[in-house]
Amino acid sequence: MKKEKFKPVIGNGEEAVIYITSEIATEIEVDKNGDIVSYPDFGGYNGMEEHIIDNKIYCKKIKVKGKVKSAFPTYKAYIYRVNTVGEAVKELKQDIKFNTHENAEATVLEVARHTLGNNKNYGDKGPTPPNSTGNLYRLRYKIGSNKGKTSYRYRIVEDNSSNLPSVKDFKQEYQSGAMNIGTRSSISIDPWNSAGLVGCIGIRGEKGIVHPNCKNMYPNQDKENYKYIYHSINNYLEGIIPELTGVYGRRGFSTSSGTVLVKESSYKEEIKVFVLVDKLPELKLFDIEDAKIALRVIYDNYGEDIATIVEKMYRLETTHFTSGQYQHCGTGGMEVFGKAPYYGWDSTTFKNHTEHTPIGTWSSFEGKALSEEGGNKQQKDKPKTFVKLPSVLAGMEYKAEYIKRYNGNYARWYNANDPDAQEIYKEKLKGIKARIVETFK
């Protein structure tokens, strides 16, 4: 793909894209002991002690007013605006291809991306579900009510006629249609931090503070003033993305009185503003499907015997592909005991397969497992840190090559020096069925 040069937008554009990334805007800061110094955002506890990739902390367990919560960073959102329909999406795709943001506007939004409740997945009341450039969301504008408080919000929706129905009078659009993304609904662009969000995106000021544009309105959240907080943040967004004033619902809505006004749109035709949402790093979890794909490769390249042992080892060490370490790291038990990039582990496999190079670390309190039967001692006073791999295949191929390197003595993985402990490990594996490998025969 050759880089295309795009003309800078002049005046009000004809299309725009907001790209909500997983790039950190303001980091969680810790001291030399790993204790929190500052954080720009927090929300409901996600069950993790912390999640670290390349020395960047994507969540950390904290207490707020005596209650357990998760601290989060804020993230960057990039803006693409053009005068020609179709080119904003082209700019976005080109920038993603070349890992740059050179076609984006100079203004970068700082956003909160988590929720007051469910931060464990993208399900009910979880963060905004990610999408792809082949399935971009749309922005629309719609009135809503929350506990009797009226507001007018930009809503992130799927691009379909249910959410964006044809209406004879476009001035009625702001009251028409649904607000759905799959099984989710009412995902909007808000002025809150994650402690006040329910699956929405929060526009924040520098370092996660209340955005200056709604700072004066923010303290008073009664029924009368609530809508003005939204008008204030919307006015800021419309100032840097004027195409918003032309989207479905907004083009036909304005106000002539009130503390904060909504200006009449200058657009005569509807404008499309698309939204792309990255996955959150700590929610890119591995599941049993990843194991099936990886084991097929191991079976084809290393044979049935090694594939069988690898599956049994994984099942034992990951509680049949359900443990937090498996979901977050793709491994069953690779503790950090050295420096990046290999974190103390033999580099042979990683150098032979550079695509398997570790991508960071993940920390959590560990279960007892086989710690009392010759395995590594369970650490109870603080979380352990584990190697995070880019794929389950990376972890399984590491095991497969390890088994070959030590002439089939797979039990050495469990304890390199104690033959009795190795026998315990072998006995544990005997009672486990390699159900996935069985399907390959």
In this prediction, residue 50 carries a pLDDT of 86
Map residue 353 onto helix, strand or coil: coil
Instruction: Answer with the residue of higher pLDDT: 91 or 120.
Output: 91
pLDDT digits (tens, 9 = 90+) for 78-114: 999 999 999 999 999 999 999 999 999 999 999 999 9
pLDDT digits (tens, 9 = 90+) for 157-190: 999 999 999 999 999 999 999 999 988 999 999 9
Which residues contact residue 290 at a Cβ distance below 8 angstroms, ignoring those fewer than 6 apart? 330, 391, 392, 393
Calculate the alpha carbon distances from 339 to 292, 310, 383, 387 in Å.
31, 26, 18, 11
Q: Which residue has the tokens 């700590």?
A: 282
d(CA 409, CA 402): 9
Give me the amino acid identity at 359. I
* pLDDT average, residue stretch 193-209: 98
Instruction: Answer with the residue of higher pLDDT: 238 or 147.
Output: 238
In this prediction, residue 230 carries a pLDDT of 98
Report the candidate in 231, 226, 116, 129 with the shortest Cα–Cα distance to residue 180. Answer: 129
In this prediction, residue 358 carries a pLDDT of 87
pLDDT digits (tens, 9 = 90+) for 48-82: 888 888 889 999 999 999 999 999 999 999 999 99
d(CA 424, CA 111): 51
* pLDDT average, residue stretch 280-303: 93
Report the candidate in 322, 345, 436, 344 with the shortest Cα–Cα distance to residue 395. Answer: 345
Helices (H), 133-269: 226-240
Report the candidate in 381, 386, 343, 384 with the shortest Cα–Cα distance to residue 366. Answer: 384
Map residue 3 onto helix, strand or coil: coil
pLDDT at 375 over 80: no
d(CA 339, CA 97): 31
d(CA 101, CA 109): 13
The pTM of the full predicted model, rounded to 2 decimals, is 0.75
d(CA 281, CA 58): 7
In this prediction, residue 381 carries a pLDDT of 62
Report the candidate in 220, 29, 189, 218 with the shortest Cα–Cα distance to residue 112. Answer: 189
Least trusted range by pLDDT, from 218-222, 375-379, 416-420: 375-379
Q: Cis omega before residue 219 (within 30°)? A: no
* pLDDT average, residue stretch 204-215: 97
* pLDDT average, residue stretch 228-253: 98
Q: β-pairing, 180-181 with 56-64?
A: unpaired
Q: Encode burial over 249-288: b for 16+ CB neighbours within 10 A, e otherwise.
A: bbbbbeeeeeebebeebebeebbbbbbbbbebbbbeebee
**284 pLDDT band (50/70/90 cuts)?**
confident
pLDDT at 367 over 70: no
The pLDDT > 70 percentage for the chain reads 96
pLDDT at 371 over 80: no
Q: β-pairing, 29-30 with 137-146?
A: unpaired
d(CA 314, CA 334): 12
pLDDT at 342 over 50: yes
Report the candidate in 25, 28, 9 with the shortest Cα–Cα distance to residue 17. Answer: 9
In this prediction, residue 121 carries a pLDDT of 85
SS3 of the chain: helix, strand, coil, percent, to 5: 30, 25, 50
Query: CB-based burial of residue 295 (10 Å sphere; 0-12 exposed, 13-18 middle, 19+ buried)?
Result: buried
